[in-house]
Amino acid sequence: MIERARIKLSPWQQAAVAVGSAVGALLDPRRADLIAALGETTGKPAFERVLERMRRSPEGRAVLLERPRVISAKVGHAWDLPENTFGAAYARFMGSRNFSPDDRPPVRFMDTDELAYVAMRAREVHDVWHTLFGLPTNLIGESALKVIEFEQMHLPMCLLSVVGGTSRFNAKQRKLFFQHYFPWAVKAGFQCTDLMCVYYEQHFHEDLEDVRRKWGVIPAPTAPK
């Protein structure tokens, strides 16, 4: 179940929350709660389009019907899977960074349960996408993944995050990102399947390279020395 403590906002309130969240997130990109609020208050049309695509996809419909959650109680078995599997790669990614699947903030500003679930799903599969694309969690890696997320979901928040992230680059990071990671991310985001329509938990037992090939995922290239 998705938390029901959601807040109904007037258009003016929604605009105020969006502006405040955007300013706060630019000042402190580590504030996941502000980034989440920005995504929700500016992303309703994009989430509605994602919802319609999921309804048209057999696997996406299964996700909407069963509403799986990427939380410890549901994905903990990934830590026990064979080393070559997609699930084990996800577990290594999370464990090596001391991340918990339970750390995502709740959805507060979506109008319906179904849209709230889609927003929560997008939030919870973020680290799954990190695993699939082989991206680090540093500023360059997060910015590259936001490019892919924008191409997949067209959320304004993703574009704003790229602008905010790249504004914090030093000269060396900026050159590396725009010459190396940005072109790859544009290609990778367009080439892969509709990633919001994938029931990832049903594929955790499969070989990581097999699922990458099946979904058209191009792993991040090795940064030049």
- Annotated binding-site members for Zn(2+): 126-127, 130, 142
CB atoms within 10 A of CB 80: 9
Element of type H or E holding 17: helix 11-27
Q: Residues annotated in the binding site, as ranges?
A: 126-127, 130, 142
Which of 105-123 are b and which e, b meaning 16 or more Cβ less than 10 Å from the residue's Cβ? bebbbbeeebbbbbbbbbb
35 vs 20, 26, 110, 220, CA distance in Å?
10, 9, 15, 24
CB-count exposure of residue 175 (10 Å: 0-12, 13-18, 19+): exposed
* Count of Cβ atoms closer than 10 Å to residue 84 Cβ: 12
Is the separation of the CB atoms in 122 and 196 below 8 Å? yes
Instruction: Determine the Cα–Cα distance for residues 127 and 144; give it in Å rounded to an integer.
Output: 13
Asked if 199 contacts 54 with a C-beta cutoff of 8 angstroms, the reply is no
